Structure 1
Amino acid sequence: MAPGVAGEREGPEMEIFHLLRAVAVEYGLRQAEFAAEHGMHVTDVRALICLLDAERAGTDATAGFLGAGLGLNSAGTTGVVDRLERLGLVSRVRDVKDRRRVLLRVEDRAKELGWSYFGPLIDSTVGVLSGFDERHMAAVRLFLQTALDALTTEDP
């Protein structure tokens, strides 16, 4: 059997990988449920997450920034922003530093909807993490960051 064929690899590392994948799948299902409940596409939810992450990081979010984050062309990005704007979840605002630029802002309504749906999950997860000591937190952080790095490198 060739290396990497399903079933050949076993061990604690693969168990952790499969748990991570299960978490990702479950979270994706929750995103899809949230999207369906609020008349959105799953890509719209990903866009909101991208914009909220940019806001938290203090990064100006333009349509180009969002498109790059979602892997969409400009037409696809415009469609997402238009849908979110129609739903009152995102607004386009002129950049006060450069009036030629249009920034995307997540409206409070989107944050409230997101918190009402995902808040219990967030609270539960944070509650679990609050029981970890700093050494365990560092290990979780290191694992998740290196797993993310592995997923986002140009050459997998």
Structure 2
Amino acid sequence: MAASRQRLAAELGAAMQAYQRSTQAFDDEVGRQLGLNPADLRCLDWLVDEARSPSELSEATGLSSAATTAMVDRLERKGFVRRTRSVEDRRRVLVEMTEEGRERTGSFYGPLVVDGTALLGRFSADELASMVRHLREITELTDRHRSRLRS
């Protein structure tokens, strides 16, 4: 039984590594198609759900403040993002995706989401709950180790 569990854990690790490579290769190709570098694309990913401050984007992408400003300038010139003022604090600048940016990136990621949704339909609620738990815990683990490296 222990050997079977070890084998499954090793298979899971290999499958996760293959998934990470596949995702990175897909993102790299989307970046090439859109004329964006990996940091630009990662920035847009952070903006999908909500507008963020330049300092939040700097932390998320690992770029310096100056490099983040240059990245936002570049994405703004290309029509992907715009700078806005926070409703709560008008002194605070936020960066948000434009509708054009959403449409352009969505043309690449939308079909993946549709197919992924269909794929998830094959799993039971318990299996999905297990996947969610695993992904949340592995994300926390990875974030913790990223913080350790930055210290």
The TM-score by the shorter chain falls in which range?
A: 0.7 to 0.9
Give the Cα–Cα distance (whole angstroms) in 1 for the partners of residues 80 and 20 of structure 2.
Answer: 24
Identity among equivalent positions (%) equals 30
Greater fraction of residues in helix: 2
**Structure 1 stretches of 5 or more lacking a match?**
1-9
The aligned counterpart of 1:46 is: 42
Instruction: Say whether 1:110 aligns with 2:101.
Output: yes
1:69-92 Cα shifts (integer Å, max 9, x gaps): 111110111111011001000000
Q: TM-score, normalised by structure 2?
A: 0.88
Q: 1:131 Cα shift?
A: 2.0
Instruction: Say whether 1:152 aligns with 2:137.
Output: no
Give the Cα–Cα distance (whole angstroms) in 1 for the partners of residues 131 and 114 of structure 2.
Answer: 17
Count how many residue pairs are aligned between Structure 1 and Structure 2: 142
Instruction: Say whether 1:21 aligns with 2:12.
Output: no
SS at match of 1:11: helix
**Structure 2 stretches of 5 or more lacking a match?**
1-5
Q: For 2:87, give the aligned amino acid.
A: V
Q: 1:18 Cα shift?
A: 1.2
Q: 1:44 Cα shift?
A: 0.5
Instruction: Say whether 1:100 aligns with 2:100.
Output: no
> Root-mean-square deviation (CA), in Å?
1.5
Pairs within 5 Å for 1:41-80? 41-53=37-49, 55=50, 60-80=51-71
